[in-house]
Structure 1
Amino acid sequence: MPAYKKVTIAGASGSIGSIILRGLLATGDFSITVLSRKDSAASFPDGVAVRKTDFSESELETIFKGQEVVISALGATGFGEQKKLIDAALRSGVHRFIPSEFSASSQNEAIVQLLPLFGAKKEVIEYLKASESAGLTWTGIATGLLFDWGLLNGFLGFDIPNRSATVWDAGEESFTLTNESQLANAVIAVLRHPDGTRNKFLHVASVRATQSQILAALEAQTGEKWTVHKTTTEQELSESRKKLTVGDFSGALGLVRATSFGKIPGLHADYVKSGLIANDLLGLKQESVEGTVSRLLTEQETLK
């Protein structure tokens, strides 16, 4: 089957969606449509067809007509809404659906137990499997946490401006993380190789690391000794769950960090160690922790 060219993205203004959109646009190979809610003030780059919609099934079907692929980058509040997108894609003759994974794997039971919110993602994959016989194919892409994105904004617990880090347990648990460009490249590879990625759940990564290795790379690049705050998986899980019980959604973010940093049986956060990684299938190269850290800090200096 030839590469897919006509692509619609739902959630293109979000953190993940904007990464995918930029990557697709940079190739110049795709005809891109984005879905935008009728009350949204989001703006998009030139060269993108913007379709305002109320996300009704009839409107979605009309928009999806003639499209080959629908990519969902909807956030947590939209995970369940993906079934509506799938139904409309199926009725409109769309060939491939890429659901909103792009994080820890919803196919790992330890992840779903840790983050029940990901149960909705798991249900979407099961829904897609049930749609295979009707002609709709799918590809899931698990990336783990985003490395360069999470370093720059402090999400991963490394505070670059203040030269401080929060390290879980001994900091020696290994995990894999994905850089923004690699996430986009994974999507592009799926679009360019539809046969080899048909009805598969794929795990990709940019780097394999431990928190201690990331800290060492940051200290080497900055030439400074960082302040380290020690914590434990047990402490982080307890605090995150307490926040959630009182409606503080930041608790969910703590649980998301635990999908990489947590010392939890069955987590399989290291896709290389667990043998899950599909980089070779997609033609994706692994990068080094040191290389990513050097690139980010150099870019920061350039912007000053």
Structure 2
Amino acid sequence: MSSKITNVALAGHENEELLTEIAQATGVLGSAILNGLLEANFTVTVIARKGGQTFPSGVSVEVVDTNSVSAIAEALRGQDAIVDATSGPDPTLQGRIIEAAVSAGVYRIVMGEFSVDPEDPVARSPLIHHGKNQAFKQIKQLAAEGKITWTTISNGAFLDWNLRTGFINIDIRSKKARYMNDGTNPLPWTMLSSISTAVANVLKKAEHTENRSFYISNVIKSQKQMVGLAKEALGSDGWDESNQDMDSKLKGATEAMMAGKVDLEVIGDMIRWSAGTVPAPRWEQLDDNALLGVERMNDDEVRELIRDIASEGKSSPESMLANK
């Protein structure tokens, strides 16, 4: 397999049919990654579940039955790499993408790990991560056999998306914060544009990024620190602040999922428990930032981002999570 990557397939674009509301986050990410790949002059093919979608000039589209490994493999013929930015309730999808990529002779897969640390068994213990855990084990075994190479890019919370939606329980427009436990656990936050830059650099620097997990962030701050910046940017009056017992939230979400309930609140509580309560020391590896072209943001830049997002208009429906 050649380490030079030119042709890149992308699964998980914004216009793709959403299986759950939570997929909106990775849909937005897929759109950002597409722009980053095009700016880096890769030849891009989008793997879509339905036709009739609009893409930038020069982007090829393959409409694929993602329930079929052979159909995915056929769409991946001639691709040097695939970036998996999919999400949804099907825990077996990532495994099918891996199997298809191996069948098609794809050299590199950038795994759909744009969140918590895949190497941390505690952060990855909630049920929502079990499908990804199996896929991560699968790709490591296949790489050890020389059948494919992989990279993961973990970025913690999507900084701009979370400020817009309140998913990490900070609603800057309503001035409402629901702290995860005491809200003091530092967590990484990364702009969507920085993630897209990192993905492009992983593929451009293929020999240096082979079979490795990377940890990137623009900011490492706790919820309380982020709210402190929001108060400085928007004013300290009128904030509604409270605390949540995240172990209790995880317990309730686990019971709900085992009973067959899979919705935004259930999935969100599991993701927030992983991101907001488990220490994330690997994000201090700032050499990963440097290699992948991700820059740190200072407090002034974060305050400016908060002011810009707060002025955009009313919160989107996802920000209702901040009210729970």
TM-score (norm 1): 0.87
Aligned-partner Cα distance in 2 for 1:291–1:122? 35
1:236 is matched with 249
**Partner AA of 2:288 in structure 1:** A
Q: CA deviation at 1:75?
A: 0.6
Instruction: Please point out which of 219, 230, 237 is paired with 1:218.
Output: 230
- Rounded to whole Å, the distance in 1 between the matches of 2:52 and 2:161 is 24
> 2:61 aligns to what?
50
Aligned residues between the structures: 296
The whole-number CA distance in structure 1 between the counterparts of 2:147 and 2:249 is: 44
Counterpart in the other structure of 1:15 = 28
1:97-151 CA distances to partner (integer Å, 9 max, x unpaired)?
A: 11111011222110222x2221221221221122222431111111112121111
In structure 1, what residue type is equivalent to 2:59? V
| Counterpart pick for 2:82 among 65, 70, 74 | 70
Q: Work out whether residues 45 and 61 of structure 2, in 8 Å CA contact, stay in contact via their aligned partners in 1.
A: yes
Tell me which of 301, 307, 312 is aligned to 1:297: 307
Residue 199 of structure 1 is matched in structure 2 by 211
Q: Which residue is equivalent to 1:271? A: 282
Name the structure 1 match of 2:192. Answer: 180
Report the TM-score when normalising by structure 2: 0.82
Query: Percent sequence identity over matched residues?
Result: 25
State the Cα distance separating 1:303 from its structure 2 match. Answer: 7.3
Structure 1 match to 2:291: 281
Task: Return the offset for 1:243.
Answer: 4.3
For the residues of structure 2 that align with 1:5 and 1:131, how far apart are their CA atoms?
22
Query: Matches of 1:184 and 1:151 in 2, distance apart?
Result: 18
- Point out where structure 2 has 5 or more consecutive residues left out of the alignment: 15-26, 315-324
Distance in 1 (alpha carbons) for counterparts of 2:114 and 2:271: 12
Q: Is the 8 A contact 1:69 1:95 kept in 2?
A: yes
Match of 2:156 among 125, 144, 153: 144
Are the counterparts in 1 of residues 128 and 270 from structure 2 also a CA contact under 8 Å? no
Report the residue type matching 1:8 in the other structure: A
User: How far did 1:78 drift?
Assistant: 4.1
Alpha-carbon deviation of 1:227?
Answer: 2.1
Deviations along 1:65-86, one digit per CA (max 9) or x if unpaired, are 2211011111133441222222
Q: Deviations over 1:29-49 (max 9, x none)?
A: 1111011114x5543333311
Determine the C-alpha separation between the residues in 2 that align with 1:62 and 1:248.
Answer: 31
Q: Which has the higher contact order (CA 8 A, sep 6+)?
A: 2
RMSD: 2.5
Q: CA shift at 1:233, angstroms? A: 2.7
Distance 1:170 1:219 in 2: 18
The separation in 1 between residues aligned to 2:275 and 2:70, in whole angstroms, is 40
**1:77-226 aligned within 5 A:** 77-113=89-125, 115-132=126-143, 133-225=145-237, 226=239
